[in-house]
Amino acid sequence: MTEVQQLEPHDELPEDGRFVLVMRRFGEDAPNIAITEIILADDDPPPEVTVALRPDGNSMHFDEAVAAAVALAEERGLSIVYAVDRTGGPREAEVLSHGGDRTVGMEKLDDAAEGESGTDMQDRPPNAGYNLTPHR
């Protein structure tokens, strides 16, 4: 019997062992969408990563992907399936509801390290680069 262990949105992912992981996350190049992947960690690294799609090419819902992962685990003789929805936290739900805008509801950040205040990295213009001039 294959066990399904539901992880919380910000839990660490398993790194060792033989298992199947279902992960729903924001798209890297399209942060306004969520992608569900099925990751098979068997004997041979690296893990096999596939996007959870139905036979017609449409995306599986998270629960469908978990069921597919259980079937895959049983086929491979694996006893555990981990399932994590990285978009499931309250902050992530707010981001999704605003089309992937990660700045929604955020206050302007202030860098106050060791008593010195200054601007935050987010205040830098895009492609600003870094000052690599050595100090003399």
Check pLDDT > 80 for residue 39.
yes
Q: 8-17, 76-85, 94-103, 114-123: lowest mean pLDDT where?
A: 114-123
Check pLDDT > 70 for residue 26.
yes
Positive or negative, the CA dihedral 108, 112, 118, 120 is negative
Average pLDDT of the chain?
Answer: 80
What average pLDDT does the segment 106-129 reach? Answer: 52
Check pLDDT > 90 for residue 66.
yes
Classify residue 95 as exposed, middle or buried by CB count within 10 Å of its CB (0-12, 13-18, 19+): buried
Model confidence over 44-59: pLDDT tens digits? 778 999 999 999 999 9
pLDDT at 136: 42
CA-CA distance, 83 to 102, in Å (whole number)? 24
Paired tokens of 114:
């060791």
pLDDT at 133: 41
Confidence class for position 135, pLDDT limits 50, 70, 90: very low
Confidence class for position 93, pLDDT limits 50, 70, 90: confident
**Distant-in-sequence, close-in-space partners of 79: CB < 8 Å, separation ≥ 6:** 1, 2, 3, 73
Please name which of 65, 26, 20 lies closest in space to residue 47, comparing C-alpha atoms.
20
CA-CA distance, 27 to 100, in Å (whole number)? 10
Label each residue of 60-125 as H, E or C.
CCHHHHHHHHHHHHHHHCCCEEEEEECCCCHHHHHHHHCCCCCCCCCCCCCEEECCEEECCHHHCC
ω into 90 cis (within 30 of 0): no
pLDDT at 112: 55
